[in-house]
Every structure is written in C-alpha cells, then in structure tokens.
Amino acid sequence: MDSNGLKNGHADQNAVHRNATELVKQPVPELVLVDDDSLTLEIVRWNMRKASCIAQLFSDPEKALSHLEQSVPQLLIVDYYMPRMTGVEFLERAGQVCSLESSTIFLCSAITQKQLPSELTAILNVQQLDKKFVCDRELLNTLLLKHVG
C-alpha cells in the first residue's frame, strides 16, 4: 500500500472510511447569532459568505435554543433587547439546555447601554459588544479570528 492509501492502484476502502470518519468528527468552527433584527441578520449573512466558519443566524430565540441542544458554538452573539425574551433570559435558558463553558459569549446592542453588573457577567461568562462589530465586515472578521477556531 502506498502513502495515498492505494493498494495495487485501488483505494483501500478501510483507509478511505477512516479518513472520512475523522473529517466528520472534527468540529466545524461555528458562530451563532441570535437577533430579532432582520437587517442585522442579512448583513452578517452577507459578510460571512466567504468566512471559514459556519454562521447559524436566528431571529427566533426558541429556534436558537433548539439548535444549541444539538451544537454548541465557539462564538455566541446574542442581541440584548429582543421582544420575546431578553438576551440575558436567552443565555439563562441556553445554560439549561447545553454547556456554554467552551463558548465565547457576547451580548450586543445598537443602543448604548450601561455596563452589565459584574456579577451577571461573571455568572454568565458574558462580554458586551456594540452591534457595529457584528455588522462591519472587518470588525466581524477580527472577532472571528480572535474567538473562532
């Protein structure tokens, strides 16, 4: 068998299967954004089209929670002000359906807000983020480079 997994010029099926299985097991870097603003979601969708990670974008926090039950992202960005539940409420519920210990989490808002209480940021392991970082391609790429895979 040669170094390409070929035996007499034919692929070794076991080697091909092992390689495919290893590729499937490797986690794909992922960003999850939860925001009720459709324009923000569309801007991020556009900015992420050439990114090296998967962006899962949700306008419905309940659907985002269902997704988190299946896949925990490396980077989670949640809008602070949403009509059905606040970003803090979302994160509290997310902590009940999955472990976010390995995720970097940001609460973001276009509205200037006062600092979150330090005990809240410590409990939820959350940082604040201005929404311009999410909507600007260069700033978003910087954020991805720093916090995703």
**Res 24: pLDDT:** 44
Higher pLDDT among residues 85 and 110, named by residue: 85
Taken in order 98, 101, 107, 108, is the CA torsion positive or negative? Answer: negative
- Cross-strand bridge partners of residue 103: none
Distances (CA, A) of 89 to 28, 92, 144: 27, 5, 24
Report how far apart, in Å, the C-alpha atoms of 87 and of each of 74, 82, 97 are.
17, 7, 15
Give pLDDT tens digits for 2-50. Answer: 444 555 555 555 554 455 444 443 455 689 999 999 999 999 999 888 8
Cβ-based neighbour number of residue 8 at 10 Å: 7
- Alpha-carbon gap, residue 96 to 45, rounded angstroms: 28
- Average pLDDT of the chain is 80
pLDDT at 81: 87
pLDDT digits (tens, 9 = 90+) for 122-143: 666 788 888 888 999 999 988 8
SS3 10: strand
